[in-house]
Structure formats: structure tokens, C-alpha cells
């Protein structure tokens, strides 16, 4: 998941056994994926105003 950009290393801690444990945190990409999974595109489009729609369109257009 780290290679795909869904989690990133947040901290490295030493354990009582003397090992190192890496703590991970979710990325913005993960939060976006979770949000998009819970809301329909039609619902999003109905909720956003023209300014937000323009920003989303511009962001998507840069990816294609």
C-alpha cells in the first residue's frame, strides 16, 4: 500500500524487544478514495457549485 501511495511512514519506534517498528499514516489519496467510495458522483455534482466544479474539472483535465 505504501508503494501505491495509500500509506506513508509517520514514525519509527523502538520496541521493548529491541526491534524497530514503523508506524504508518493514511495519505490524502486514501481519504479521497474512502470518500469517493461512500458518495456517488451524481450526488457530488449536485452538491458542488460552479466554482468547485471548475476546479475539479481542471484537476481531472491535467491527469488526462
Supply the Cα-derived Rg of the chain in whole angstroms.
18
Residue 4 is predicted with a pLDDT of 85
Q: Do the domain assignments include residue 2?
A: no
The answer to whether 5 touches 29, Cβ cutoff 8 Å, is yes
pLDDT in tens, 12-51: 999 999 999 999 999 999 999 999 999 999 999 999 999 9
DSSP assignment string, 16-27 = TTS-EEEEEEE-
Classify residue 53: in a domain, yes or no. Answer: yes
Can you give the pTM of this predicted structure?
Answer: 0.64
Contacts of 12 (CB under 8 A, 6+ apart): 20, 21, 22, 23
In a domain, 39, yes or no: yes
Beta-strand runs (E) in 1-64: 7-14, 20-26
Q: State how many domains the chain has.
A: 1
Give residue 40's domain range. 7-61
Amino acid at each position: 500500500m505504501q508503494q501505491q501511495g495509500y500509506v506513508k511512514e509517520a514514525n519509527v519506534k523502538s520496541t521493548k524487544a529491541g526491534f524497530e517498528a514503523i508506524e504508518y499514516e493514511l495519505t490524502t489519496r486514501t481519504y479521497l478514495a474512502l470518500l469517493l467510495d461512500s458518495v456517488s458522483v451524481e450526488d457530488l455534482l449536485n452538491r458542488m457549485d460552479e466554482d468547485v466544479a471548475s476546479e475539479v474539472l481542471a484537476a481531472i483535465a491535467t491527469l488526462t
